[in-house]
């Protein structure tokens, strides 16, 4: 489980990388990335940055652009965050949204034989004889 400090660092890095991509990076292809999550190692040596794009067909080009801008992003990120050590950035495509959609389609395709509300059948009713006292 990630500590509270690491969660804060991950969220702050996600915000800063998104802002840097939007405002400071000149590569237009890299600006198509939507940063979904950052996962730093405990020693702040490495950070896995997960991204997605609106258009799935350009993900490979966006990944190449982000990989080429990783050094500059790390430098700008180090100035913004003020950490003792700025992690090396590695970019990875986030496929969780497609996986979720696939699971939704799979669950929607399943058909159940049982109706939503169970019907009460006559043979399930229990008749208790009245006891004579």
Write down the pTM of the prediction.
0.76
Distance separating alpha carbons of residues 49 and 39, to the nearest angstrom: 7
pLDDT category, 9, cuts 50, 70, 90?
very high
Phi, psi torsion values for 105, nearest 5 degrees: -65, -40
| Mean per-residue pLDDT, 125-130 | 59
Residue bearing the bigger pLDDT, 41 or 126: 41
Is residue 67 predicted with pLDDT exceeding 60? yes
pLDDT beyond 90 at 123: no
């Amino acid at each position: 489980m990630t500590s509270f400090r690491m969660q804060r660092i991950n969220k702050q890095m996600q915000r800063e990388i998104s802002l840097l991509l939007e405002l400071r990076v000149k590569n237009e292809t890299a600006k198509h990335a939507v940063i979904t999550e950052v996962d730093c190692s405990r020693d702040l040596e490495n950070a896995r940055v997960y991204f997605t794009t609106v258009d799935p067909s350009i993900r490979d080009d966006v990944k190449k652009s982000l990989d080429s801008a990783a050094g500059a992003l790390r430098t700008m990120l180090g100035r913004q965050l003020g950490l003792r050590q700025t992690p090396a950035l590695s970019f990875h495509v986030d496929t969780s949204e497609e996986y979720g959609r696939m699971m939704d389609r799979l669950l929607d395709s399943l058909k159940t034989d049982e109706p939503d509300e169970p019907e009460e059948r006559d043979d399930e009713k229990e008749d208790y004889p009245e006891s004579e006292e």
